[in-house]
Every structure is written in structure tokens, then in C-alpha cells.
């Protein structure tokens, strides 16, 4: 058995590298002149698939963030209105927005807009407030049941914001959904809460 020549030893590694390179190009179905096609394909996939998917994830997360605000503020605004009934100014005349009525319901919207989370447009927030009259009916075993099925109009009297009536607040946020290469839409995120007036 003869030892390999020095010349063969030096040439062998470079041949293996060339063969490996040919095999690698063969895996992607390309030849030496088509090396740039892969870059173009990757750029197109990134622009039309990956980036829109990424923006979709961002926008849906942002919409959930906005809905958390809407859900929280519908409850907070209902609590705010439930302690600002017809007797609230008698208890404390300097109470902010005391004796909140349908005529002054715009003050509640201003308050909700002032509580907007960072990044939300306060101008896209609308607040709809309504009052509901209490209706007491006899129940089983001598107990009575109270329902609030009739919306109070304030006519003729008493006023709608008396204790035992209920106040209902619906907070709505117009969320602009912007996803590239997709239809631009505005989502109406809404939440409603109702509570009995205490004061």
C-alpha cells in the first residue's frame, strides 16, 4: 500500500467543498445563476405575509387594550353616576357634578374622556347615559321583587335620578383598525353597566 501523494492531499478538501456547495444549491433547486432569486422571494414573503401578520398581532393587542378601558370605564362611570343622584347636592353642595340628570349627562362623558388610557384618542369615546325606574311587585312568601325594566323620561315627575332608580352607562370607543394590505375598518368597542342610585 502506497502513501497518498502530497498533491492529492491538498486537492481533496477543496474538491469536497465544491461538491458540498453544488449539493447545497441543488437542495434549493437553483443553479449558480439563480442565487439572487431566493433573496427576492424572501423579500416578497416578508413584505406580503410576515409584516401584515405582525401588524395584525399589534393591532389586535391594541384593540384588546382599548376594550379593557371601555369595560373598566363603563363600570366606573356607573359608580360615578350612582352617587350623584337627586340628594347628592344636599349632602355636599361642592360635590363635583352632583345631581347628575339627563340634562347634565355631558359632564359624565367629559369625565370619562379625561380618564382615557395612554394612547387612546379621547375624541373617539362616547358615553350614553340612561335612567331606569324601579318597579316593585309582590313576590312569593311575602317578599317583594324590584325590577328596572322601564326607562325613565323625567316626565311628569319625580326626577329620574332619585335613589332606588337605576342608572345605566354605555361607553363606546371607535377603534381604527389599520392592517397593511387589508381593508381599513373602524371597530365599535362597547360595554354597558347598570347600578342602583344610592344618593
Nearest to 108 by CA among 116, 118, 97: 97
Residue 196 has a pLDDT of: 95
Cut 0.95: pTM above it: no
Contact 103, 189 (CB under 8 A): no
Average pLDDT of the chain to the nearest whole number:
83
The number of residues in the chain equals 199
Q: Is the peptide bond between 124 and the residue preceding it cis, with omega within 30 degrees of 0?
A: no
Q: What is the pLDDT of residues 169-180, one digit of tens each?
A: 999 999 999 887
Q: Name the grid cell of 154.
A: 323625567
Residue 189 has a pLDDT of: 97
How big, in percent rounded to 5, are the helix, strand and coil portions of the chain?
50, 25, 30
Q: Give me the mean pLDDT over the 95-110 stretch.
A: 91
Amino acid at each position: 500500500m502506497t502513501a497518498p501523494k502530497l498533491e492529492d492531499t491538498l486537492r481533496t478538501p477543496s474538491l469536497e467543498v465544491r461538491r458540498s456547495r453544488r449539493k447545497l444549491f441543488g437542495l434549493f433547486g437553483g443553479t449558480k445563476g439563480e442565487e439572487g432569486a431566493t433573496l427576492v422571494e424572501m423579500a416578497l414573503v416578508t413584505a406580503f405575509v410576515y409584516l401584515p401578520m405582525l401588524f395584525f398581532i399589534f393591532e389586535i393587542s391594541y384593540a384588546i387594550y382599548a376594550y379593557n378601558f371601555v369595560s373598566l370605564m363603563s363600570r366606573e362611570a356607573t359608580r360615578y353616576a350612582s352617587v350623584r343622584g337627586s340628594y347628592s347636592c344636599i349632602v355636599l353642595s361642592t360635590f363635583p357634578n352632583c345631581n347628575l340628570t339627563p340634562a347634565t349627562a355631558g359632564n359624565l362623558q367629559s369625565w370619562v374622556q379625561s380618564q382615557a388610557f395612554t394612547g387612546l384618542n379621547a375624541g373617539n369615546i362616547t358615553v350614553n347615559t340612561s335612567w331606569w325606574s324601579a318597579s316593585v311587585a309582590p313576590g312569593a312568601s311575602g317578599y317583594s321583587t324590584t325590577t328596572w325594566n322601564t326607562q325613565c323620561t323625567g316626565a311628569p315627575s319625580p326626577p329620574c335620578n332619585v335613589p332606588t332608580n337605576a342608572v345605566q352607562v354605555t361607553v363606546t370607543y371607535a377603534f381604527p383598525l389599520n392592517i397593511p394590505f387589508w381593508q381599513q375598518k373602524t371597530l365599535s368597542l362597547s360595554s354597558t353597566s347598570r347600578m342602583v342610585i344610592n344618593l
